[in-house]
Structure 1
């Protein structure tokens, strides 16, 4: 009998200079989703691995953009790669209405682990941004706005890799403001500041660019794991796939 299970294709940008590690990481996420959704057939492909996305694309599939915004790649490059093949498009990961609560829970756990419960702290949301258009920055700013009421003890600042304010600039402003407002020593400040990379996958930006920017601004703590690697992400994506399938409307 033919396999009539719904098909989901999880896709991310990947890393053109070294496509295999993010491809493997996306495959591991797909395996987690397969365990959560045994009635589905889960596939994965980054856009950076040559021919991989087209090889996994099947008519009628639910495509899940593991992207933080509906920007250049998720909104235009992905559409061109799909062409006229019928499909359903899920909400991009970074725009999922359930994501702020997931991140807030992860940050509350981190704060408790550090012994900061009930204390104010700084949170730098380090995002990609884009020189191609405003959607990437808007997604990060909207996410920060949604996160603020969920984390009343935090003071959230955004910074970007590819546009102003750059991460180093935002981190320096955050550091100077905290020192001025709270009269803390440098070490005390570093113990009360977190940096969350607003990225779906780990790559050179999260492993190299962001840590270098933080160091240049006087921070000593390493950034947290990227948003897409936080606990509960696979469950969030599974719910999003079920919601998209239930809504119908292949295109």
Structure 2
């Protein structure tokens, strides 16, 4: 058993068809976050792994941090339902990664730094989207608007799971800077995004997902600590 101390679980969607690599990536992220949270026990789980969430929330309740880009169906409906089924009574649910103002600031910083090198004529913000909820696209469109305003370049959000599709927008912006607005490197980033860009004959630079930026673990740790302090964790 772990020594007494505040606990946090970082929860991601994972990859149902091949859960092991995604689980390893989130576990590595949890270890990086833990380095910013001395005294905390930071664990990881993906919803794609059978039983992973139940194992992660054993023991005294703490903070569940959704590694998602928006407060849509997965974080507002599915995750609370799965948390209850996993015996996670008393665990406090943080706001998702992509809704954190500090993460949005980071997204602007990533784009600004990349443009200083690439000098692309526009920005393509590649995101997941959703058929179930408008929340993911609302967050992405708002982020695209902010990037356009602050960086002075055209910026369009495009999606894997809804219109406008990434390939469609990439055809109109073939030399743009592609910024994947994702929390992790899942199947969409590894397979779907490159396929869509190849289909569009996209020639611009493609960055790593926002969630893989080395500054992200500190931001996640700050959000976890703030919720733990606010609720007496």
User: Where do 1:85-104 residues align within 5 Å?
Assistant: 85-104=89-108
C-alpha distance after superposition, 1:55-105 (max 9, x if no partner): 111442100000011112111111111116111111100100111211222
C-alpha distance after superposition, 1:227-247 (max 9, x if no partner): 111230001101111111122
Q: Which deviates more, 105-114 or 65-74?
A: 105-114
- Using structure 1 for the length normalisation, give the TM-score: 0.85
SS in structure 2 of the partner of residue 98 of structure 1: helix
Q: 2:228 and 2:150 mapped to 1: Cα distance?
A: 29
CA 1:144–1:247 in structure 2 vs 1: closer, same or farther (change >3 Å)? Answer: farther
CA 1:39–1:245 in structure 2 vs 1: closer, same or farther (change >3 Å)? Answer: same
SS in structure 2 of the partner of residue 159 of structure 1: strand
Is residue 107 from structure 1 mapped to residue 111 from structure 2 by the alignment? yes
In the TM superposition, residue 146 of structure 1 has moved relative to its aligned partner by 3.3
In the TM superposition, residue 149 of structure 1 has moved relative to its aligned partner by 3.2
Q: 1:230 and 1:85 mapped to 2: Cα distance?
A: 32
User: Where do 1:49-128 residues align within 5 Å?
Assistant: 49-58=49-58, 59-83=60-84, 85-114=89-118, 116=119, 121-128=121-128
Match of 2:189 in 1: 206
Match of 1:179 in 2: none
- Using structure 2 for the length normalisation, give the TM-score: 0.91
CA contact (8 A) 1:211 1:223 kept: no
Q: Tell me which structure has the larger Cα radius of gyration.
A: 1
CA contact (8 A) 1:169 1:217 kept: yes
Match of 1:172 in 2: 171
In the TM superposition, residue 130 of structure 1 has moved relative to its aligned partner by 1.0
User: Where do 1:10-25 residues align within 5 Å?
Assistant: 10-25=10-25
Which runs of 5 or more residues in structure 1 are unaligned?
176-189
SS in structure 2 of the partner of residue 210 of structure 1: helix
Q: 2:185 and 2:25 mapped to 1: Cα distance?
A: 9
CA contact (8 A) 2:111 2:179 kept: no
SS in structure 1 of the partner of residue 225 of structure 2: helix
CA RMSD, Structure 1 to Structure 2 (Å): 2.0
Q: 1:53 and 1:146 mapped to 2: Cα distance?
A: 35
